[in-house]
Amino acid sequence: MAYNPAPIQQMIQDSEGRTPQVWLRWFKALDSVVITGTITLDANQASTTFTDPHITPSSIVTLTPTTANAALEVGNGSLYISSVTDGAFTVTHANNAQTDRSFNYGGFS
């Protein structure tokens, strides 16, 4: 008997049969805005502020490192989102000369 893997659509469904695209539609239906972008931490500074017109004080923002130095920044424990305001969020981080600490950011507003 041949092995027949499940179609990818079934493999990514949650326990109620919904796919990730459905979740995005739900957030949009609830007047949430999906926010995404790329950022690079400022060199020789202890914090960096990023602007995005969709950010509000109630936004949920996450960072995903896209370079080795960004991953090391996460690993050393000094990186965190210290402020979220209308149109911007601030990331506190180590103060060093590295210019390639880049991240993807994403979340909901």
Angle at 84 between CA 83 and CA 86, to 5 degrees: 135
Better-scored residue on pLDDT, 15 or 90:
90
Task: Tell whether 34 is covered by a domain.
Answer: no
The pLDDT of residue 33? 76
If one counts the domains in the chain, the total is: 1
Cα 77 from Cα 81, distance rounded (Å): 12
Domain that holds residue 47: 40-109
Cα 93 from Cα 43, distance rounded (Å): 10
Evaluated on CA atoms 56, 59, 65, 69, the torsion sign reads: positive
Task: Tell whether 77 is covered by a domain.
Answer: yes
Task: Tell whether 24 is covered by a domain.
Answer: no
48-95 pLDDT per residue, tens: 999 989 899 988 899 999 999 999 999 999 999 999 999 999 999 999
Task: Tell whether 103 is covered by a domain.
Answer: yes
Task: Tell whether 75 is covered by a domain.
Answer: yes
Better-scored residue on pLDDT, 34 or 53:
53
Task: Tell whether 14 is covered by a domain.
Answer: no
Task: Tell whether 20 is covered by a domain.
Answer: no
The pLDDT of residue 51? 93
Task: Tell whether 102 is covered by a domain.
Answer: yes
Cα 46 from Cα 83, distance rounded (Å): 13
